[in-house]
Amino acid sequence: MSDGALSQDEIDALLAGVDSSALGSSPAPAAATAAPSGSEDERRVIQGFLSGTLDAQSSNLSMMTGKDVSFRGPNVVPLTRDDLLQQLPDTVTSVKADFNSGFPGEHSFIFSEDTAKTIASLMNKEENIQLDEMAMSVLGEVVSQLVGSQITALTEKTGNKSISSVSPEAANVPKAVAALPGGTFMCATYQLILDDGKTHQLWEVLGPSVSADIARALDSKGGTAAGAPPPAFPGMDMGAMPNLGMGGGMSAPAMGGDFSAMGGGMAMQGMGGMMPMGAANVQSVQFPNLMPQNTPQEQGNIGLIMDVYMEMTVELGRTRKLIKEILGMGEGTIIELDKLAGEPVDILVNHKLIAKGEVVVIDENFGVRVTEIVSPMERMGESI
């Protein structure tokens, strides 16, 4: 007889929205359900697209960590919540990065606890790191970069310029509490090789609507139509060609050249020589000037937000204290900060580091003189 107390499994199940009354009972036989039509095509298109982003993902993560990092895979399969939970370790770091426009729906990355600690350690240049709030912020920034690369590739392949995602939110939780889509969704499993020499696993979860919409958009644009054979004669409408007899004579189409049989193959003669039918028309590419230019349109666009207020903060320093130390503070308590005397102070806009400076006095007010503009890479590292 139960004493009325909930077991740990029941607590995890309740937090995950699972009916705890089913725990410990014999599972009911699952009703046979047919696989959704097109699911294999959808899987192949998604896998082809994600495979095409691996180089960019490896480059981004290597640049962020300062180490050689590489992605391998992915292996994309349709799974249910229960299927994926069987693959995950007991505790995971789940980072939600749902798409909110373009292809709106659920989207997340899942790390094992060990993988999350390794990435956070590489980013912070700190060993034996704990998965605290700062580490969660670091992992959120990592996922933000991964999703950014995917959005860039999707925009180029589909022409949809409205694709965006919410700011990633990371949490280290028991796997039963991790937020996962309902029904059958696409799950991509990557092999991630980090600085410790180990091969880590990383899971990317695409909700049913997200994967279906992305696959449909890519397929309509011919972006990653898996298994589609290339045309036999690029740029030519074979249906418009006259009867080409392989065994006997061959009538030539009304073109600026003539066709001749060559050992069972075909070639087009004229227009300056003999060219195989399958040869591509190769032309030199003219690349535009990459120097930044301020066009009137760009100046007009930035002018729309010139009168928007933003919060600017000058940070003298930071420190960490135990709760008992904070509760013990009173008038006259001296708090030592992590900045040295005379060291530049940080200048933040909307809590993002943009510059450093020195404190000055203007009349009777404090001020700050800007001494350094922080580079984008330093800005990203300091803000997390």
Per-residue pLDDT tens over the stretch 225-257 = 444 444 444 444 444 444 444 444 444 444 444
Residue 189 has pLDDT above 90, yes or no: yes
Please check whether residues 316 and 208 belong to one and the same domain: no
Domain holding 97: CATH number?
A: 3.40.1550.10
Domain end (from 186, 205, 221): 221
Residue 259 has pLDDT above 60, yes or no: no
How many helices and strands, by DSSP H and E, does the chain display?
A: 10, 15
Please check whether residues 206 and 62 belong to one and the same domain: yes
Does pTM surpass 0.85?
Answer: no
Q: Residue 269 falls within a domain, yes or no? A: no
Q: Residue 23 falls within a domain, yes or no? A: no
Q: Minimal CA–CA distance to 314: which of 368, 270, 268?
A: 368
Residue 99 has pLDDT above 90, yes or no: yes
Residue 10 has pLDDT above 50, yes or no: yes
Please check whether residues 166 and 51 belong to one and the same domain: yes
pLDDT band at 11 (very low <50, low <70, confident <90, very high): low
- Can you give the pLDDT at residue 34? 36
Q: What is the mean pLDDT of residues 45-55?
A: 90
Please check whether residues 198 and 333 belong to one and the same domain: no
Residue 212 has pLDDT above 50, yes or no: yes
pLDDT band at 271 (very low <50, low <70, confident <90, very high): very low
The pair of three-digit structure tokens given for residue 1, joined into one six-digit string: 């007889």
Terminal CA-CA length for the chain: 51
Q: Residue 239 falls within a domain, yes or no? A: no
* Sequence-ordered alpha helix ranges (H) in the chain: 8-15, 39-51, 54-65, 81-87, 113-124, 133-158, 208-221, 296-303, 323-327, 376-383
Q: 13-17, 180-184, 331-335 — which is least confidently predicted?
A: 13-17
Share of the chain above pLDDT 90, in %: 20
Q: Residue 152 falls within a domain, yes or no? A: yes
pLDDT band at 98 (very low <50, low <70, confident <90, very high): very high
Q: Minimal CA–CA distance to 209: which of 104, 135, 80, 353?
A: 104
Please check whether residues 66 and 191 belong to one and the same domain: yes
Distance CA 39, CA 43 (A): 6
Report the mean per-residue pLDDT for the chain: 75
Only one residue has tokens 């909110």, namely 100
Q: What is the mean pLDDT of residues 308-314?
A: 87
- Can you give the pLDDT at residue 25? 42
Domain end (from 194, 221, 248): 221
Q: Residue 214 falls within a domain, yes or no? A: yes
Into how many domains does the chain fold? Answer: 2
Q: Residue 14 falls within a domain, yes or no? A: no
Q: Residue 163 falls within a domain, yes or no? A: yes
The residue segments making up the domain with residue 351 are: 308-383
Residue that wins the pLDDT comparison between 129 and 4:
129
Let me know: does 236 contact 62? Beta carbons within 8 Å: no
317-347 pLDDT per residue, tens: 889 989 988 888 888 888 888 888 888 998 8
pLDDT band at 205 (very low <50, low <70, confident <90, very high): very high
Q: 132-141, 146-155, 299-308 — which is least confidently predicted?
A: 299-308
Strands 352-362 vs 345-349: parallel, antiparallel or unpaired: antiparallel
- Can you give the pLDDT at residue 260? 41
Domain end (from 195, 221, 247): 221
Share of the chain above pLDDT 70, in %: 66
Q: Minimal CA–CA distance to 347: which of 339, 338, 356?
A: 356
Question: At 40, phi and psi to the nearest 5?
Answer: -70, -40
Q: Residue 238 falls within a domain, yes or no? A: no
- Can you give the pLDDT at residue 288? 60
Please check whether residues 216 and 359 belong to one and the same domain: no
- Can you give the pLDDT at residue 186? 92
